[in-house]
Structure 1
């Protein structure tokens, strides 16, 4: 079985740690059409980790 592409979530805060000024959660975009404009939009809109994953529309999300 193939490993599904993924991004690790940020570690949880511990003890008296303060959250950062701006949280940057991982962002995943799953679509059957991913192009240059999608990458150009995601880059400035999501400063944290981002994964744009193309899915074949005839196969959906499956192993």
Structure 2
């Protein structure tokens, strides 16, 4: 059964702002986007109109 979301977004260290953020494809298990800027990782996944699941962590979002 396919998952209801395309990407799982999670931080390398959930208790640290500025840690590496990963966007893992929920179908393949591959990390397709990553970086220290949460905004860029979120925008990369949203740009392709994918659904996401955000796991617990600290995300610094400045828009």
TM-score w.r.t. length of structure 2: 0.31
- Specify which structure has the higher proportion of strand: 2
TM-score w.r.t. length of structure 1: 0.31
